[in-house]
Chains A and B, each alone.
Chain A
Amino acid sequence: MTDNGSRNVGIAKDAPEAMIRLENLSKTFPGQTESAVEDLSMEIPEGEIVVFVGPSGCGKTTTMKMINRIIEPSSGRIFLQGEDVTKVNADKLRRRMGYVIQQIGLFPHKTIADNIATVPMMLGWEKKRVSDRVDELLETVSMDLSYRSRYPKELSGGQRQRIGVARAMAADPPVLLMDEPFGAIDPITRERLQNEFLRLQAEIKKTIVFVTHDIDEAIKMGDRIAILQTKSRIAQFDTPERILTDPANKFVEDFIGAGASIKRLSLSQVRDIKTASWPVAVLSEGSEAVRELMRKSGKDSVLLLDDRRRPKRWVSADDLAHAGRIEEAGWPAVSIVEEGSSLYDVLDTMITSYKGSAIVVDGEGRYEGVVDFDTVLGAINEMRPLEQQRPELAEGAAEQRDRS
């Protein structure tokens, strides 16, 4: 796509009303001749997660930091909820936007409660209201209230990031800016935090600008993705589906990388597909009940749950016959995914699992169902005709293939 073309891509198709509008934004850092961001215009719709993604040095972080004017734009205008905020008091503007950075930046000398209370205190809330809000937020990010009086150094990386998110949301700002918020966290915790955050966003429906360099994270998190080239030129600004099925140009195609089709599996969650039913029994029911269940169901194994319906073990008829205690029969159920996990993650879990299937649990870890290869294949088959119903997309994709 040419430079001229990219000006129009900045307006997302059929988007709701814009929460943030950037108009011809440019930034040249002092002492540099090349601009870091050049003439960027885009609209960020209300209530959506918009992900800025691009190779390092493309200006995505600079662009995000110009929205709350941590970096002052050299030219251009910024609108928040229709109001021109390019020249208003920057400190007051920032109190209307939550801000989460990769290093989190919790205040090490302040307690967790004081950290979360930062913006409400600046806004002059009453003590009681601040304290209630802190409790509410700790619950929102699934942290125990006993953490109130702890200090940041006593927390793990994942816990700190949760507090970082809670702190950004403290005064209930309409907008959250997040700069690689899950970048410095181990993959397992990152996955969990991403899922938690998506679940949270489904409730709070904030307008979120999310910066990452990881296209997989962008696909997972974004309602819309802006793929940025050098100087923050927009290569494509669209929904993840359309970016994967219909990349606008060679740059986008290369950036998505190999396996665009398999990445589409990241877009569907387990809760969207039909899970297979599987015979389950609660451990405390005893081995006789389990045997009975196995006979009736005709399956070769049964999934055992604990009293809170959390998956514990798989047992087969053989195991039941040989093991003394039912708690030690069979093998542990470890291939577990949450409802919010993507089909991509599910497939990954299934491939490494012993039984070639994955157990689906809800947010509290309670059993929901079982997914196997047949279920996933069925879901993939259902996706296909959808694509064929949109001939213009299929054509576009074909055109792309021809050109390359």
Chain B
Amino acid sequence: MTVASAKTGGTLPRWVGYLTKPVLLGLACLALYFWVSGLELDSIEQRELNAANITQRFIEHLELTAAATVAVVVLAVSAGVLLTRPFASRVSSVLVNVANIGQGLPSVGVLALLAIFFGLGFQYALIGLIAYAFLPVLRNTMVGLRQVDSSVIEAGRGMGMSKNAVLFRIELPLAVPIMLAGIRTALVITIGTATLATFIGAGGLGALIETGISLNRTPVLVTGAVLTSVLALFVDWLAGVAEDILRPKGL
């Protein structure tokens, strides 16, 4: 959002607008660092708040998010393409409703259920995250494909483009802006939800938050929360830049 408003902001060059957000996020991290290093930490806090542990939690979190997002994009975009083909017109509304249910379920509950039925670990956390981020991508893919002007498709078919050529060279490129918006939403949701993965042993920044709460260590809790927020906002910013770059010219 800030990216969009910066563009209309006036006289400043565009890259200044692009840089505002990452600079602010960097400042937030610095503030956190100085605050924590000014505190006297006890042994529990020292065990949690050191470079090695934080880096590991951070990487776990990134891995979960990246894996879930890649899987969601592949699955939901394919599903969206299939469901907008003429032969699927009858089943599509049913399947979208199923995806809606996935979105509606409380995420902690889903992760808990997965743990009960399958056990603990990365792959089960992944399933939960995928179920949760699936809908925005699916819905935006379908909306994006459906808003393509039917006369453009007819013109393509009428000139002798095959169905696949029309899909890949016309429909999908024209749906890209809306699809990217869905993927951006899914990314942010996933980063937030991945904090809950710690409850089924998949680690991540949620582990810091959980430790902070259960052992009543505010610095640990704050560090986990701030890092998660910074990560979510930074990825949102990245996705915004990607939207601007990948949007087809001429739209």
**Chain A residues with a Cβ under 8 A of chain B:** 68, 70, 91-95, 99, 101-111, 118-119, 122, 151-153, 164, 167-168, 177
Contact = CB atoms under 8 A, between A and B. Distances in A.
Interface stretch (B31-39, B159-167, B194-202): B159-167
Nearest to A110: B250
A167 B159 contact: yes
Contacts of A92: 160
Contacts of B19: none
A152 B251 CA distance: 9
B159 A95 contact: yes
Nearest to B173: A109
A70 B151 CA distance: 12
Interface in B116-173: 149, 151-162, 165, 170, 173
B171 to A, nearest CB: 11
Contacts, number: 72
A94 B155 CA distance: 11
B160 A105 contact: no
Given A91-B162, A151-B249, A151-B250, A108 B152 contact: yes
B9 interface: no
B158 A91 contact: no
Nearest to A167: B159
Interface in B63-84: none
B107 to A, nearest CB: 37
A94 B152 contact: no
13 contacts: A70-B154, A70-B157, A91-B160, A91-B161, A94-B159, A99-B159, A102-B151, A105-B153, A106-B155, A108-B149, A118-B161, A122-B160, A151-B250
A124 to B, nearest CB: 13
Interface string B234-249: 0000000000000011
B39 to A, nearest CB: 54
Nearest to A93: B160
B250 A101 contact: no
Contact of A105 (B156, B173, B250): B156
A108 B250 contact: yes
B174 A108 contact: yes
A99 B155 contact: yes
Contacts of A68: 158
A119 B157 CA distance: 11
Contacts of B161: 91, 118, 122
B159 A118 contact: yes
A101 B154 contact: yes
Counting chain A CB atoms within 10 Å of each CB, the highest count among B157, B173, B248 belongs to: B157
Given A151-B249, A152-B250, A153-B250, A107 B152 contact: yes
- Interface size grouping (class) on chain B: 20 to 34
Contacts of A122: 159-161, 165
Given A101-B151, A109-B251, A122-B165, 17 more contacts: A68-B158, A93-B160, A94-B157, A101-B154, A103-B149, A103-B151, A105-B152, A105-B155, A108-B251, A109-B170, A118-B156, A118-B159, A119-B159, A122-B160, A151-B250, A168-B159, A177-B158
Contacts of A118: 156, 159, 161
A107 B156 CA distance: 8
A119 to B, nearest CB: 5
B155 A101 contact: yes
Contacts of B154: 70, 101, 105
Q: Which 6 pairs, one residue from A and one from B, show the smallest C-beta to C-beta distance?
A: A105-B155, A151-B250, A103-B151, A99-B158, A94-B160, A95-B160
Contact of B249 (A104, A106, A109): A109
Given A92-B160, A101-B154, A118-B159, A111 B149 contact: no
A105 B151 CA distance: 5
A151 B249 CA distance: 8
Nearest to B247: A109
A101 B156 CA distance: 11
Contacts of A104: 151, 155
Contacts of B160: 91-95, 119, 122
Contacts of B162: 91
A109 B250 contact: yes
Contacts of B170: 107, 109
A238 to B, nearest CB: 28
Nearest to B174: A109
A120 to B, nearest CB: 11
A68 B157 CA distance: 10
A111 B174 CA distance: 14
Contacts of B248: 109
Nearest to A154: B250
A152 B174 CA distance: 14
Contacts of B156: 105, 107, 118
